[in-house]
């Protein structure tokens, strides 16, 4: 586990030095949020705002979280990780920790702006918890599956095709949790489903990542 934190620390140092991925994710989220707030009629904002919020995080996640491994390939350091004494599981966990930190930073910046743009009357803490629960599952899925398309020239096109069928169950549960947060309620069943799915996907990722990583 210590090795995983070292990898996450290394990635964070690189990111905070360049700020490329973080700036892109923030700007993309802001632009899409502003476009949605302008394009959506005021009489239906309350009905679609939550779905649009989740859509923003899904797209920014697909574009941003995959950078954790793509950057290793672009810098030609992925082979160094493969021959290092660090286990593939530690590498995966390190990338997940790094992406989770990025995710939390994006949420802290974007959520208040989104709520203000759409004039949502919500329990902000419940909204934050619901979004974080869903995004955690997205991070695990995207981080682990990004290795599948690492060598593909059309990886930007392949990622959504691969990821959406896998994350569909958690999308449904997250929307349910978000809708409950709008009325100030906690949907325990939705959180249970999200948590169970997250644990299941993390387990599958850890069991299969060794084979993906060494190829």
* 110 vs 157, more confident: 110
Q: Is the pLDDT of residue 79 over 80?
A: no
Tally: H helices and E strands in the chain: 9, 0
Q: What is the mean pLDDT of the chain?
A: 83
Q: Is the pLDDT of residue 60 over 80?
A: yes
Give the pLDDT score at 193.
92
76 Rama class: left (phi>0) / alpha (psi -120 to 50) / beta: left
Q: What is the pLDDT of residues 120-144, one digit of tens each?
A: 788 888 889 989 999 999 898 888 8
Q: Give 41-47 contacts, CB < 8 A, sequence gap 24+.
A: 45/118, 45/119, 46/120
Give the pLDDT score at 189.
92
pTM comes to 0.87
Give the pLDDT score at 154.
66
Number of domains in the chain: 1
Domain that holds residue 166: 2-214
Q: What is the pLDDT of residues 13-53, one digit of tens each?
A: 888 887 778 888 888 888 888 888 887 777 777 668 888 88
| Residue 119: how many other CB atoms lie within 10 Å | 11
CA angle 169, 177, 105 (to 5 degrees): 90
Q: Is the pLDDT of residue 110 over 70?
A: yes
% residues pLDDT > 70 (the chain): 93
């Amino acid at each position: 586990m210590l090795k995983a934190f070292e990898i996450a620390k290394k990635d964070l140092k690189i990111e905070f030095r360049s700020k490329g991925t973080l700036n892109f994710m923030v700007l993309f989220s802001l632009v899409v949020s502003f476009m949605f707030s302008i394009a959506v009629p005021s009489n239906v904002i309350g009905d679609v705002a939550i779905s649009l919020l989740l859509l923003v995080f899904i797209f920014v996640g697909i574009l941003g979280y995959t950078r954790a491994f793509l950057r290793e390939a672009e810098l030609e350091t992925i082979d160094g990780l493969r021959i290092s004494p660090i286990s593939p599981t530690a590498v995966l966990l390190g990338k997940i920790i790094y992406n989770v930190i990025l995710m939390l930073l994006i949420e802290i910046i974007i959520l208040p702006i989104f709520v203000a743009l759409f004039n949502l009357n919500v329990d902000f803490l419940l909204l934050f918890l619901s979004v974080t629960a869903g995004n955690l599952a997205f991070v695990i899925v995207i981080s682990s599956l990004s290795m599948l398309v690492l060598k593909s020239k059309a990886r930007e096109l392949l990622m959504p095709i691969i990821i959406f069928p896998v994350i569909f169950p958690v999308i449904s549960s997250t929307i349910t949790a978000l809708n409950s947060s709008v009325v100030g309620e906690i949907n325990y069943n939705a959180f249970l489903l999200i948590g169970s799915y997250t644990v299941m996907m993390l387990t599958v990722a850890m069991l299969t990542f060794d084979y993906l990583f060494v190829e």
